[in-house]
Amino acid sequence: MRIAIDAMGGDHAPMAPVQGASAFAEERPDVEVLLIGDEAQIRQVRALPANVRVEHTVSVVEPGEEPVRAVRRKPDSSLVTAARMVKEGAADAMVSAGNTGALVAAGLLVVGRLEGIDRPALAPVLPTFDGRGVMLLDAGATMDANSRHLLQFALMGSAYSKYVLGVERPRVGLLNVGTEEGKGNAVVKDTYGVLKAFEQIHFAGNVEARDLLSGSVDVVVCDGFVGNVVLKLVEGVGAGVFGALKEAFLKNWWTKLRAAAIAPTLRPFRRRFDYAEYGGAPFLGVAGGCFKAHGSSNARAWYVTCTQAARFVENRLLNHIAEDLQSDRTEAEELGRNER
């Protein structure tokens, strides 16, 4: 197995990706890790394990660049090189913390869509209060989605949750403004009926945004516009709450003393909502393993995302998605015959 790492992508590159990927490589000597980027900068970070190889390139897709133009004009950039390796079979999966739009564009233009998938989806795992996490599809790749797209999101999310995250029977929810079956716009109402009738999916009904982090479902589907708004709201609220707690605890010597007393209780709670423990977001629906790590990922987040990428490959997720898509086509054909 080979995993390609965009070592120049993200806020803390190349330090964080090199450290995180190297820690993963030391734990998994059976996996070859390909660090793509400026070799001199990469080797300055630390001594590399024996199963880590460097692919030298100095070209980088910058955060503010227009995604499609950057992918086409910088074919030798670290991000696009990683995607091309996946396309050509030189790597089984890739990880980048760089420009999200460029990763989506590279996934579509370089790696290509998985056969049978109409629209791929970014699928981050959000922290939940019970510590299980919930996968959100789509978080920004497909802004306008119809019921068929949302069905495919549900299939892909269920497969990832089961085979990569280890959830035996993933519960799938449809993000909506109410829990009743008749709520929502035309697309959401139509999708409710489609998901309810599809036997391959354990459909749990509508989920309101206020219950999203309760742990009531394992996978929640929505279009990319809504999903991206939800993702950024959760990130913003989380950062704001922990920032306010820190400010309150450091207010004076008495609050500092009280904070020290309850620190052992707070640490597990903080870890439960630490994005680094949930890793990156797989870009599901492309014909290879593509993972988007958070732009501010530290070494721990990189390590976790590399681990996810390895499990993606080991558990043959693309094959499982293809099998579910075949079931989708078979069920649709059967439904058509019954209607006739």
26-60 pLDDT, tens digit per residue, is 999 999 999 999 999 999 999 999 999 999 999 99
What one-character DSSP code corresponds to residue 176?
-
Which tens digit of pLDDT belongs to each residue from 234-290? 877 777 776 777 777 777 877 777 777 777 776 776 666 666 677 789 999 999 999
Domain ranges in the chain?
Answer: 1-116+285-340, 118-280
Residue closest to 92 by CA, chosen among 26, 151, 28, 41: 28
21 — pLDDT class (breaks 50, 70, 90): very high
pLDDT value at position 336?
Answer: 40
301 — pLDDT class (breaks 50, 70, 90): very high
Spatial contact of 39 and 56, defined as CB atoms under 8 Å apart: yes
How many alpha carbons lie under 13 Å from residue 79 in its C-beta half-sphere? 32
Spatial contact of 20 and 91, defined as CB atoms under 8 Å apart: no
Given this chain, do its domains 1-116+285-340 and 118-280 carry the same CATH topology?
Answer: yes
pLDDT value at position 337?
Answer: 39
What one-character DSSP code corresponds to residue 210?
G
Model confidence at 332: pLDDT above 50: no
Pick the CATH number of 1-116+285-340 from 3.40.718.10, 3.40.50.2300, 3.40.50.300, 3.40.50.170: 3.40.718.10
Percentage of residues in the chain having pLDDT higher than 70: 92
In angstroms, the first-to-last Cα distance of the chain is: 48
Model confidence at 7: pLDDT above 80: yes
Model confidence at 133: pLDDT above 50: yes
Centre a 10 Å sphere on the Cβ of residue 286 and count the other Cβ atoms it contains: 25
Question: Hey, what CATH topology would domain 118-280 get?
Answer: Isopropylmalate Dehydrogenase (3.40.718)
Cα–Cα distance list, 60 to 28, 63, 289, 301 (Å)? 28, 9, 21, 21
What is the average pLDDT score of the chain?
A: 89
User: How long is the chain?
Assistant: 340
